[in-house]
Amino acid sequence: MRNSLLRRVSLSAASASARRYRSTVPAGGKVFESADAAVADMRAGAKLLVGGFGLTGVPENLLAAIKKKGIRNLEVVSSNVGTAERGLGLLFQDKQISKMVGSYVGENDLFESQFLNGEIDVELVPMGTLAERMRAAGAGIPAFFTATGVGTLVHHGSMPVRYAPDGSGKVVTGSAPRTSQVFDGKEYIMEEAIHGDYSLVRAWKGDTEGNLIYRKTSRNHNPAIATAGKVTIAEVEELVPAGTLDPDQVHTPGIFIDRIVQGPSEKFIERLTLLGEKTKGGALTPDRERITRRAALELRDGDYVNLGIGMPTLVSNFVPPGVHITLQSENGMLGVGPFPARGSEDVDLVNAGKQTVTALPGASYFAAHDSFGMIRGGHCDVTILGSMQVAANGDMANYLIPGKLVKGMGGAMDLVSSPAKVIVTMEHCDRKGNPKLLPACTLPLTGQRCVAMLVTEFGVWEMAPDGSGMTMMEIAPGIDLESVRASTAADFKVIDNLPLMKGCE
């Protein structure tokens, strides 16, 4: 992520209060005077579980102390890797990480370069599975079964772990296959718990007993990570004496925390996004508007909806009048509202794309493992995602081009393996004019037979639930069927009396 996309944010008046508490908190016990002191016993080869999502809720001071100490050969487990300048990017700068376990690369060019050049091992894990693996570790559960990743490289193995150092893109180490088992006629794969030598977390407030309170979406993965390390170190913005916090408001009880230290005097917004700005989905071209307007018509009053990064985010702009939906964001929020007006952005309030957002009346915040419980448990009605490829049988691929692009699956595998209706919004061809709607995906799968509906600028297709094929249900105005077939590598049926695309009549 380039510096222009980072925004430094001074802490609020609560932080000034925290500085006053410094002299009243007794030394000793769980309280450490500095981040340097809190990581003083950390040695090379340690396995670290690191909280945060993008740059939100990241223990920046603890990571800076590790960078300063020069600890090397670290194995790091974290949902995503920040940017080249912030978060875990600090440890990539001096190549202190030898193995990274995570879900999403994001805009960390250093990480991507080191992976593609064969300098580090990488284990890509679906975000919900990663969260649950750490939660399981803290709960004493050695393994569990999940539908997430069934039929993909996560299941069958050979996910790129290490590339050759010659830049050839050759995979020299691949992942091992997962054990699978059938329950009630459906296949699930087994995932093992992830423990760490150290857990590093960030909270808004903490007391000398180690009790923690998180703020808004800065909670994300921190609560699960806090439970899964042999030694858990908490960095807090405001450190107060025991008895100051309302026990009914504590999110992480002190039993999980071994060390606590007051944290940084500033925080950062990774993707400051304001009302009227262009989003990561790009400019709203006529084709994109056609796609997103049509996808929005699939939403029903009362739906709980998850929108993927990029073009799917734009769907919320076109929800029909009288239709009230609740947007769910996998980093830990229900009731996502519009982007904020300039000056009202909140460093602790971001969506799954790390964009600043607002909260609607009735919104709620929760940990990431609870968020994915909602998703896997079938409590969301619709998910709308982008994709690089879609196959005629409903397979999709949207996270990896081996040897070239390391995007990471984020929460997509969890979303498409859930009972929710999966709608894909994508442009019909890639930038070179190659079809993206294929007889079979040539890229690693995100999910098998998971797409229920596809919307492109050319029309709308429905996929048969049994994977037997797809049917064109609507065609865009000004587009003839012959042109659609010429731009589509896959065969498809056409409904009788093919109507115009809804919203374009």
330 annotated active-site: yes
The answer to whether 374 and 380 have CB atoms below 8 angstroms apart is yes
The answer to whether 17 and 30 have CB atoms below 8 angstroms apart is no
Using alpha carbons, select from 316, 305, 335 the residue that is nearest to residue 420.
305
From the list 60, 123, 238, 330, the catalytic residue is 330
Using alpha carbons, select from 414, 424, 423, 420 the residue that is nearest to residue 388.
424
Compute the distance between CA of residue 311 and CA of residue 260 in angstroms, rounded to an integer: 41
Kindly provide the b/e burial profile for residues 409-438, where b requires at least 16 CB atoms within 10 angstroms of the residue's own CB: bbbbbbbbbbebbbbbbbbbbeeeeeebbb
Kindly provide the b/e burial profile for residues 252-291, where b requires at least 16 CB atoms within 10 angstroms of the residue's own CB: bebebbbbbbbbbeebbbbbbbeeeeebebeeeeeebbbb
Beta-bridge partner residues of 310: none
Compute the distance between CA of residue 60 and CA of residue 86 in angstroms, rounded to an integer: 8
What does the DSSP 8-state code read for residue 428? Answer: S
Catalytic (active-site) positions: 330
